[in-house]
Amino acid sequence: MNTSHLMPTSIEAEEAILGGILIDPTAISRVADLLKPEYFAIAAHQRIFSAAMTLFTQGHSADLMTVTNWLTDHDQLDGIGGLTKLAQLVDRTVSATNIDQYAGLVEEKYRRRKLIEIGNNIVTAGHQTHRDLEEIIAEAETEVLGIGSHTKPQEFSMLGDCLSAAWASLETGTPPGYFTGLHDLDELIGGLVRKDLIVVAARASMGKTWFAIHLALQIAKKYGLPVVFFSAEMSKESLTKRLLAQVAGVNSQRVMWNKIYEDEWEKLSQAVGELLELPVIIDDTPGTSLTPASMRSVLRRVEREHGSPGLVILDYLQLLGERNAGNRAQDVGAIAGHCKAIAKDFDVPFVALAQINRGVEARNDKRPLMSDLKDSGDIEQDADLAICLYRDDYYNPESTERDKIELIVRKQRNGSLGTAKCWFNPEKGTFRNISK
């Protein structure tokens, strides 16, 4: 059905804006950040406004004469209705006094038209039964919510305002990040900082998922903030059992196998009670189906139902995307970039676990480097903080560093590099400080 005649418009407001621009050379500066050519419903109005914006951005005056000359020089004057159209716009406009209000009305009508357009697209997508339903829902949610954000003017701040905020932060002495509870690591990195992409990399079975669980419990318990755990590798049941094992201090392998000793039931029962109080949200969508758009959808829902998240965890980065993509490194790098964008948009630390290549096993010193990242792409470039995990007793049974794990800071955008150590029990997944 053709519904174009029903589309919300305000032709009078569009004409008033264009007429104001043509009679007042200063008028366009008041709406340049509020409007785009596509916001106008009439094609001729789009071209006129586009001509005025082009002149404005080039530092020229935008008035009747300059706009007319620009349209003439670019063979667009006849397309907008000629001099007659421009004369009508001027004749129907008294002044540009209310141009800001008219801009708001035109922008609102545009958003309504976009909503209708997206609604029609959703109807079409709903009939595409060959597509995954969750993908369609996530895509629809992103488009609908995007209507409310795409018109936001670009923000800037005067240095004086930034200095005031920085000084207030210095006076309060409030740490910029959430403490991990591991003193040596907190001393080195200052905690998990909001808006940062934090990459935690290690070989398989080195303890990176246990480390992520430790961070999740720390933020949920100490700060009472929601933690969203995207477990692309492990099922909800397996991750929940690991959480239970770490909190209860019980052998995780036996918990996984449902082999519990008699004296451990009380510990597990207490752990259940403790975990029930924590705002930890688990999403075990497989990596082949988990996308940045679907992660955003989950986070928006968490914001609505539980408040702003304090931490986002992804386990693990290289599981996302098309596994057989021609340029896998580029694909993974793009996903890392999306994770960084999510961290900034939701004002939250984003911890992305990552696998290390098997090649590290061939070296004498098996401590991983950032160059050892599997399908590395732009992971290192987008990371604000990169921590590599290493256990010497994993490779050397007679190691003098038995039951210790090294948290090696390989990149820190706002700090120094170094290594923090702590006790680690791989059977229970527990971390303890070495120093008090």
- The residues carrying an active-site annotation are 233
* Residue 257: strand, helix, or coil: coil
CB 419 within 8 A of CB 410: no
Side-chain half-sphere of 119: how many Cα atoms within 13 Å? Answer: 8
* Residue 385: strand, helix, or coil: strand
Whole-number Å distance between alpha carbons of 250 and 246:
7
Strands in 204-324 per DSSP E: 227-231, 280-283, 311-315
Site of tokens 């998990």 = 192
Whole-number Å distance between alpha carbons of 246 and 225:
19
Q: Which helix (H) or strand (E) element contains residue 237? A: helix 236-248
Whole-number Å distance between alpha carbons of 138 and 143:
9
Whole-number Å distance between alpha carbons of 434 and 184:
8
- Report the candidate in 271, 226, 223, 216 with the shortest Cα–Cα distance to residue 249: 271
CB atoms within 10 A of CB 150: 11
Six-digit token string for 320: 């996302």
The residue type at 132: D
Q: How many helices (H) and strands (E) does the chain have?
A: 16, 11
Distances (CA, A) of 309 to 55, 100, 281, 346: 44, 36, 10, 8
Whole-number Å distance between alpha carbons of 306 and 296:
15
Whole-number Å distance between alpha carbons of 432 and 78:
77
**What DSSP string runs through 114-127?**
HHHHHHHHHHHHHT
β 404-412/385-390 pair status: antiparallel
The residue type at 282: I
CB 135 within 8 A of CB 291: yes
| Distance of alpha carbon 141 from the chain centroid | 15
